[in-house]
Amino acid sequence: MTEQLSIPGWPGVAASVVFVALAAAIAYRQRLHLTRELLIAATRAAAQLVAVGAILLILFQHTGLPGALAWVVLMVLVAGQVAGRRGQGVPRSRRAATIGVGTGSAITLGALILLDVISTQARVVVPVGGMIVSAAMQATGIALRRLREDARNARPAIEARLCLGLSARAAFLPHRRSALRTALIPTIDATKVVGLISLPGAMTGLILAGVDPLTAIRYQIVVMYMLLAATALAAFTAARVAESYLFDDAQRLVPLPR
């Protein structure tokens, strides 16, 4: 018989504030100038989670798959703005990030639904979609930041290749590859050590809910593979879109702000 899962009540949540106080005390004593930001982040996280929890309760009970997909679209739009800020300086970086995150998320989540790998229930689509969008956002942000740095620091080399007659795409290819490698390494490393160093969120959640570990492992394998696909698709798409904005119609590298 499976033991009932113990969920902390609101008094337990309130008691956990002591951990925030501990982190704030360390930041204050070490003069990190992060105490205020840390407290704001903790307060904002709590408020956001309560609000989102109330919205998801309504969404799960009344909207079904259309509502779940609408929520995923909203997550993509927010993620595009966050990832785009990482590449600030690249022309239309937020548009490139949104297109990248949207493409990676749509293809991956769409495949999972169409192939009947996951249920079409809103309470399944929203969490899985959130994991996909989050991973795509991180990879996209890293790729755009690396593209921006290379476009600034390697400008002489890029312009030299252009002078030799290479197209803009060929001249920038080594830097796009470098950006994609940098963006994919965190997900690849996490995939290599999954289960050895940490038990990922999906697997941990299922185990805490009383699901058999072998069943939870099957679900986690699907999650890790979908995250690999989402990050690769999102980073590649965002890099290609951003690259097109880095060159003008005459295939000249546009100046970037410092």
126 token code pair: 């929203």
Total-model pTM: 0.82
Q: What is the mean pLDDT of the chain?
A: 87
Q: How confident is the model at residue 2 (pLDDT cuts 50, 70, 90)?
A: very low
Cβ–Cβ under 8 Å, residues 143 and 238: yes
Q: How confident is the model at residue 1 (pLDDT cuts 50, 70, 90)?
A: very low
The pLDDT tens digits of the residues spanning 132-175 come to: 999 999 999 999 999 988 888 888 888 898 888 888 888 889 98
Cβ–Cβ under 8 Å, residues 187 and 135: yes
Q: How far apart are CA 21 and CA 14, in angstroms?
A: 12
87 token code pair: 């590449």
The pLDDT tens digits of the residues spanning 171-196 come to: 889 989 999 999 999 888 888 887 66
The residue written with tokens 């501990």 in the block is 22
Cβ–Cβ under 8 Å, residues 38 and 23: yes
Query: Which residues are CB-contacts of 68 (< 8 A; sequence separation ≥ 6)?
Result: 59, 121, 122, 125, 126, 129
Residue 108 vs residues 33, 217, 230: alpha-carbon distances, Å: 40, 20, 6
Q: What are the phi and psi torsion angles at 253 (to 5°)?
A: -70, 125
The pLDDT tens digits of the residues spanning 49-69 come to: 899 888 888 888 888 889 999
Cβ–Cβ under 8 Å, residues 183 and 140: yes
pLDDT at 198: 61
Identify which of 141, 139, 143 has the alpha carbon closest to the alpha carbon of residue 177. Answer: 143
182 token code pair: 């940098």
DSSP state of 246: S
Within 10 angstroms of residue 156's Cβ, the number of other Cβ atoms is 8
